[in-house]
Structure 1
Amino acid sequence: MNRRQFLHTSAASAAVAAATGPLILGAEDKAGSKTPTVGSGEHVYECTHGWGTLPGSLEWQTTHNVAIDSAGLVYITHQGHKGKKGLDTVMVFDPQGKFVRSFGKEWHGGGHGIDIRKDGSDEFLYLTNTWASPKVVKATLTGEIVWKKERPETKEYENPKTAYNPTNVAFAPDGSFFVGDGYGSGYIMKYGKDGELLKVFGGGGTEKGKFKTPHGNWIDTRGEKPVLVVCDRANARLQTFTLDGEFISLTEPGTVLFPANIDTNKTVMLVPDLHARISLFDKDNKVIANLGDDPAWRKKVLDGFKVRAQPKQWEAGKFVHPHDACFDPAGNIYVAEWVDGGRISFLKKVG
């Protein structure tokens, strides 16, 4: 089951609503022309930036991750800047982009990963608060904490100087889950369904099975057996493992540039790439399309990362730093970008 969406009957109405178009800010580009499109063939999307309307008491800071529940509600995390305490880190919207609720003041400054999993008849959020405590949280959809986890009690983290800053969670079909220490020491922890630590693997390095910023991780169920796919971001590759943590394969150089996260919908896998594009892969992990890909634009974006703080320089139909993205039940895509002031884009599938 996809951790970010649950295609039950209850999601059908949300899918219809999303397909007909949400409430969007800035639906036209700077020249006033129609909404630009990205992609080609069977994967064409109308790209609209500035999705979602916040009440006046709230503001976007650095947006990070996005997830969708079975009712179609969209959950977005943002980090929260120093000096602006008291802002919620999780914002919730309906499929049309209308604000529903927010929570998470206690995670201000650390809001990062967010994913949703069904447990029995209920759904729960799994949050990774990279620069705040608690580091990993299981919570209800309205923010009540079920359990929280701090630093793993294992030999890899015995030295108090060993960094631990988790970035994401992946859910296995048997109820177990994986936590990637993306901004810490590069390990991946496997936990049982009740939260007991089962295994630690990986660690820093460039060899097969080692990582430099295992930023996003995902259980890919498109094949005969589920596998763990890891965005080995600073090594510019995706690595695949068994659910026991045994290395299987890695992508060829150039397949991805700076991969941040993963989501799947049917046979398609998407990878938001922090270097200004979103890649789509088929079930054999061959590239279908690189949405928004433009070498000249990427060069500008990566020139000191200045553009992320210059919204007047952002171009319609182009991405700055896609940090996370997920499909909705209709195959549309929500994109959260690592930019100052935040930005959520809605990609409506039209081809």
Structure 2
Amino acid sequence: MNNSRRKFIGNTALLGTALAATPSFGFNILKKSFEEDLIVGHGDFRYKVHKDWAKISTAHNPILNCHEMQMDSKGRLLMIGDHTANNILVFDKSGKLLDHWGTGYPGGHGLTLHNEGGEDVLYITDCGYFVDKSGKYHAQAGQVFKTTIDGRLIFPLPHPHTIGAYKQEEAYMPTETAVGPNGDIYVADGYGSDYILQFNHKGEFIRRWGGKNNTDENYNLQNAHGVAVDYRDSNNPVLIVTSRTENAFKFFTLDGKYIKTLNLPGAFVCRAVLDDENIYSGVCWSETRDGKKWVRDTGFVTILDGKNRVVSNPGGEAPRYVNRNLQNMHNSTIPIFNHGHDVFVDPDKNLYVCQWNAYNTAPIKLERV
């Protein structure tokens, strides 16, 4: 057992003892020391936790939920949230706030960055699910907007009702986009009717698939929360679509033909984030050890290798396979995260974790060790 592992186990045991025996003032000091030295993850994917990475004042730049993050060609980290005082927060890698903008996305949820001819553009997804000033949740039709890197509108994607792609009773509350190798835009309707919609680079509708009531159940999606293009086979890029309620990623061709399902038992995963040969994903909830689901503060991060095997669960228990079958995954016995919603991987392989329903906190940095 290496020294870092001994230190982590020792700190964990010490914190557990403190929960029962330490006065509150002493516990706060001990907890701070524990978090400063905390190492999470498994195998070759281990990280030091920096909960205070973001240098912002929530009084001036308030946060409801941190949803997704991307890095532009200048090395700036752009995060989307659902507080309309500043939907987009722009950081440098040290956590310094460089800019903030956007007041018109009350359901600010999905953020995709795409380089077009040397220019960065954004696809901003407003899911239509938002919190008002009194703290009540509301639902309305969502929308996807293509903008410049500083938020100037280029065009909105059409609402599927207006182009005959949806029946009137089918709800549209999109959660995520991805851009294909030819510029086609894929929209995951994860809070609405669970379709994947494909548009060309001009925003013209091509097709849809997925939904809930297909004869071939492989096409059924349950909370199609994310969509991503997998370029790991450069000659054969495919789509990875989240079916979060099923604890699964489903793989499709770029024109919507089903390929396979990757089950991730116990993990309610968000979008797949591709970096080199690995897949990273925020886990918003995990099944508890006594089989309960949708229990708050059970999130973590999961990491898969090039063979789609889980190799590390920062903030969760170590992945375990029995006869090549992945066993149910759980968060750690002492929770590190609330609800992992997205992960960004920087060029140094550090992670930035955006969280939903995390007491209005900023993203957490995981420094690769």
Matched, 1:279 2:302: yes
Partner in structure 1 of residue 268 of structure 2: 258
User: Structure 1 residue 208: deviation in Å?
Assistant: 0.6
Tell me which of 309, 326, 346 is aligned to 2:365: 346
1:193 aligns with 201
TM-score w.r.t. structure 2 length? 0.76
Q: Structure 1 residue 123: deviation in Å?
A: 0.2
User: Does the aligned pair in 2 maintain the 1:29–1:36 contact within 8 Å?
Assistant: no
Question: For residues 29 and 229 of structure 1, do their structure 2 counterparts lie closer, same or farther at Cα, with a shift above 3 Å needed?
Answer: farther
Corresponding position: 1:148 with 2:156: yes
* Structure 2 counterpart of 1:126: 123
In the alignment, the residues of structure 2 paired with residue 29 and residue 250 of structure 1 have an alpha-carbon distance, to the nearest angstrom, of 44
- Identical aligned pairs, as a percentage? 28
SS of the residue 2:307 aligns to: coil
What amino acid sits opposite 1:187 in the alignment? Y
Q: Supply the distance in 2 between the matched residues of 1:326 and 1:63 (Cα, whole angstroms).
A: 12
The residue number in structure 2 matching 1:77 is 80
Superposed, 1:176-187 pairs within 5 Å as: 176-187=184-195
Structure 1 residues 199-278: aligned runs within 5 Å: 199-205=207-213, 207-223=217-233, 224-252=235-263, 254=265, 257-275=267-285, 276-278=299-301
- Whether contact under 8 Å (1:29, 1:35) holds in the other structure is no
Assess if the C-alpha contact under 8 Å between 2:142 and 2:172 holds in 1.
no
User: Does structure 2 retain, via aligned residues, the 8 Å contact 1:205–1:212?
Assistant: no
Secondary structure of the structure 2 residue equivalent to 1:251: strand
Mapped contact 1:134–1:148 kept (Cα < 8 A): no
Give the AA of the match of 1:219: V
Q: Which runs of 4+ in 1 moved over 3 A?
A: 153-156, 294-300
Matched position secondary structure for 1:70: coil
Matched residue type, 1:210: N
> What stretches of structure 1 of length at least 5 have no aligned partner?
1-27, 81-85, 301-313
CA deviation after TM superposition for structure 1 residue 348, in Å: 1.0
Counterpart for residue 110 of structure 1: 107
CA displacement at 1:253 relative to structure 2: 5.7
Equivalent pairs counted in the alignment come to 300
Distance 1:39 1:205 in 2: 38
The superposition leaves residues 92-134 of structure 1 with CA deviations (integer Å, 9 ceiling, x where unpaired) of 1111111111111111x21110111001121011100111777
**Following the alignment from structure 2 to structure 1, what is the Cα–Cα distance between the partners of residues 115 and 227?**
18
Q: What do the CA deviations read for 1:26-83 (whole angstroms, capped 9, x no partner)?
A: xx97241443111223211111113212244221112111111121111111113xxx
Moved more, 216-225 or 116-125: 216-225
Q: In the TM superposition, what whole-angstrom CA distance separates every residue of 1:156-183 from its partner, at most 9, and x where no partner exists?
A: 4131x32100000011111112000000
| Structure 2: gaps (5+ residues) | 1-28, 129-139, 286-298, 318-327
In structure 1, distance between residues paired with 2:158 and 2:66: 23
Aligned-partner Cα distance in 1 for 2:329–2:260: 31
Q: TM-score, normalised by structure 1?
A: 0.80
Larger radius of gyration: 2
Residue in 2 aligned with 1:15? Answer: none
- Alignment RMSD, CA only? 2.3
CA distance in structure 2 between the aligned counterparts of 1:290 and 1:125, rounded to whole angstroms: 29
